[in-house]
Amino acid sequence: MRAPTALAALAAFAGVVLGAAPAAPVALAAPSEVFVEVNPATIETGEQVGIRASCPNNDESATVESDAFGEVTVEPRFGFLARSVKIPEKLDARSFTVKLTCPGGETATATLHVVKAAPASPTATRTPTTGPTKGPATGFGGTAGGGAGMAVVAIGLLIVAAGIAVGLVTLGRRRVAG
């Protein structure tokens, strides 16, 4: 039960309980079912604009027209009527009325603001450069060049080898003792 209908039924019940004569049913206005909207509402020439609309019966196609793109048919999609259209590149920058006409004759309008597309900037030309001569200064820099990197690697390998040797000696003593 919708909220307005439930409210009317509750009011009639309260009137009967309180001894008042039930009032004649009140016709509640239904929310507007007919609309059209464009997304984005402001668009550059040459771009696609989405149209979403609704009629009393969204299972049937409807017509949308505007001086911005001509006359198009919006088709049922996900409970609404929808379509996308391309705004011509040579269109003047101004506001356009977008008008929906439903199969039953209902209409709705929206406004589409068209702006000129920004001219494409010329491609900047870059002169090629040579590659870097050394790595970035990010710390110790063993791989950035210089002789210190190899010494650090050698010391690290010696420490790992010493650790393995100590581990093997320790395992050998356990087996002999056990």
Tell me the pLDDT tens digit for each residue of 88-117.
Answer: 999 999 999 999 999 999 999 999 999 988
Residue type at position 64? V
Architecture of domain 31-115: Sandwich (2.60)
- Residue 128 confidence (pLDDT): 62
Give residue 163's pLDDT: 92
| pLDDT value, residue 129 | 66
What are 172's two structure tokens? 């050998």
pLDDT of residue 29: 36
Tell me which of 19-23, 47-51, 140-144, 174-178 is least confident: 19-23
Give the pLDDT confidence of 47-94 residue by residue, as tens digits. 999 999 999 999 999 999 999 999 999 999 999 999 999 999 999 999
Kindly list the distances between the CA atom of residue 43 and the CA atoms of 74, 85, 148, in Å, as whole numbers in the listed order: 19, 12, 60
The answer to whether the CB of 1 falls within 8 A of the CB of 28 is no
Residue 111 and residue 40 in contact, taking contact as beta carbons nearer than 8 Å: no
Mean pLDDT of 135-159: 72
The domain segmentation of the chain, as residue ranges, is 31-115, 147-178
Under DSSP, the state recorded for 132 is: P
Mean pLDDT confidence for 169-176: 78
Question: Across the chain, what does the average pLDDT equal?
Answer: 78
For residue range 7-24, list pLDDT tens digits in order. 454 444 444 444 444 444
Residue type at position 86: K
